[in-house]
Chains A and B, each alone.
Chain A
Amino acid sequence: MTGPAHTGSYLSDPRVRPMEWLPWVLALVCYFAAPTYLPLGSYILIMILFALSLDLILGYAGIITLGHAAYFGFGAYVAAILAVRVTADPLIGIAVAGISAGLLGWLTGLVILRMRGLTLLMLTLAITSICYEIANKATALTGGADGLGGFNMKPILGLFKFDLFNKTGYLYCLLFLFVAWWLVRRIIYSPFGASLTGIRENVARMHALGSPVYQRLVAVYTISAALAGVAGGLLTHTTEFVGLKVLSFDLSGDLLVMLILGGVGRIYGAFVGPVVYLLAQDSLAKQFPEYWYFGIGLMLVLVVMFARGGILGIVDRLLLRIRRGNT
């Protein structure tokens, strides 16, 4: 399913390579260079975090899911409800959103991870649909189809106010993305990460070796759900609104497209995919308001047909060709 994935084996050098700082440098350059694009920038950062959480379970553990929006949406709604009813402190909100999404991931994971393949796929879909319907019907709590807004987030640590141009929000998202990136990297460069690759490549063998496959899958699913919940919480905080869209099947599908576009099972695919997808969406929607989805579809078809391994897969092959050309 994945190409030359797992370039980071845990016994290889786990230090951060110079290239790995590039996304962070670019993110800071964008902050100063494109101040009017920061709301879109924040959304991109959130989707990168969300894609990163999906990469952990899809790219490394091989859990195929079409329902990752359940945890994203759950985190988003928890953050909103908390802000409306309990406290509008952002850091508490993120913590609670992450923990509750992780808890939901753990509980649902316990049930669905006993299955594999198509059955698992259907179950992940079912969980998202259930969450969606609950959010739709529990109008007193969630605002139903109207969504939930009308709350104002307090300044972060009492110091940094959320502003209209999303300057604070952008850095706030960047900070959480950085922490999540560091965490995911640590997981992948660990024996636990290697065992996830083993599970993806040969479950039967891992069973016969006595590896606790099910526990490992539940553990990584829980971590991934918590990260998705944090991403959802960030969306609620930066937009000060949450609607049913965060729990939709469309979102799970878009997320999967973004990750495949970038490259599955290599961390940085989760960075490249959302940037390309969302920037393309932004510019296509401006030029062809009615047909922009056609552009996205065409792009995906081309990538799947000619570049398995996504955009980073193309980059890999180009680099290889250049290196061969030099020697």
Chain B
Amino acid sequence: MSDILRLSGVHAGYGQTVVLEDIDFTLPERSTLALLGRNGVGKTTLLATIIGLTTLHRGTVEFRGRPISTMAVYDRARLGIGYVPQTREIFPSLSVEENLTVAERPGNWNLERVYDLFPRLAERRSHMGNQISGGEQQMVAIGRALMGNPDLLLMDEPLEGLAPTIVDMLLLAMQRLIKETALTVVLVEQSAKLVLEVTQQAMVLNRGRIIYAGASAELLADPQRLTNLVLAQ
């Protein structure tokens, strides 16, 4: 299988500050990666670096063999990188349906399929972006990214702060996404166990460096090692 994403020798951060150091990894097409680690180890920064929201100090980012390090954010998005930010960032004065269609691009994903994945959103289609619950906002954020028909979907803590029933629902939706589509998914999450179950690969960050890269199942089978890695000082 060919690689959809390759980061080599990446040092990145915000302005002069360097958050990530020596990041090297490749992501095969149709793979799923869990990105783990404590707060502030650079998980969000890594996603932001892929979509182009940080300052890249050194190294290269390639998408399907094409260097995108100097590309503008929207060009990366149009190449096929979808980004679901941690803060969700729903447009408050657009309706749910407008939020979904505001930047749609033709492809496999359309309103019908998003509503099929998240039936709840179909019921709420004419509600304004600021009139829906956190879980629904998260669904809109994911649906909105899918409407751009990405090949690589970056999700930043999509389960954070949500009620357990909603978490289950979202996890089911994610499993469906991974199983039924050709999407490559990178999932950042605090609760390691939940995401290790739905992903194939896992990567643990600590202080801006990769300290583990391997199969998700391996970490899942060794809770002691997982705890040590994620809580590493």
Contact = CB atoms under 8 A, between A and B. Distances in A.
For this complex, into which size category does the number of interface residues on chain A fall?
A: 20 to 34
B102 interface: yes
A201 B91 CA distance: 7
B83 interface: yes
Interface in B44-95: 51, 53, 72-78, 83, 85, 89, 91-95
B72 A209 contact: no
B98 A210 contact: no
A194 B126 contact: no
Nearest to B101: A191
Interface stretch (A8-16, A87-95, A224-232): A8-16
Nearest to A213: B74
A319 interface: no
A217 to B, nearest CB: 13
B85 A205 contact: yes
Contact of A9 (B83, B95, B103): B95
Interface residues of B, number: 29
Contacts of B77: 207-210
Contacts of B148: 209-210
A202 B144 CA distance: 14
Contacts of B72: 207
B103 A11 contact: no
A206 B94 CA distance: 13
B97 interface: yes
Interface in A198-247: 198, 201-202, 204-213
B94 A197 contact: yes
A207 B73 contact: yes
B85 A208 contact: yes
B188 interface: no
Nearest to A10: B98
Contacts of A212: 74
A82 interface: no
A208 B102 contact: no
Given A6-B93, A197-B93, A204 B102 contact: no
Interface of A: 4-6, 9-12, 191, 194-195, 197-198, 201-202, 204-213
8 closest A-B pairs (Cβ-Cβ)? A210-B77, A209-B103, A211-B103, A210-B78, A207-B73, A6-B93, A194-B98, A207-B74
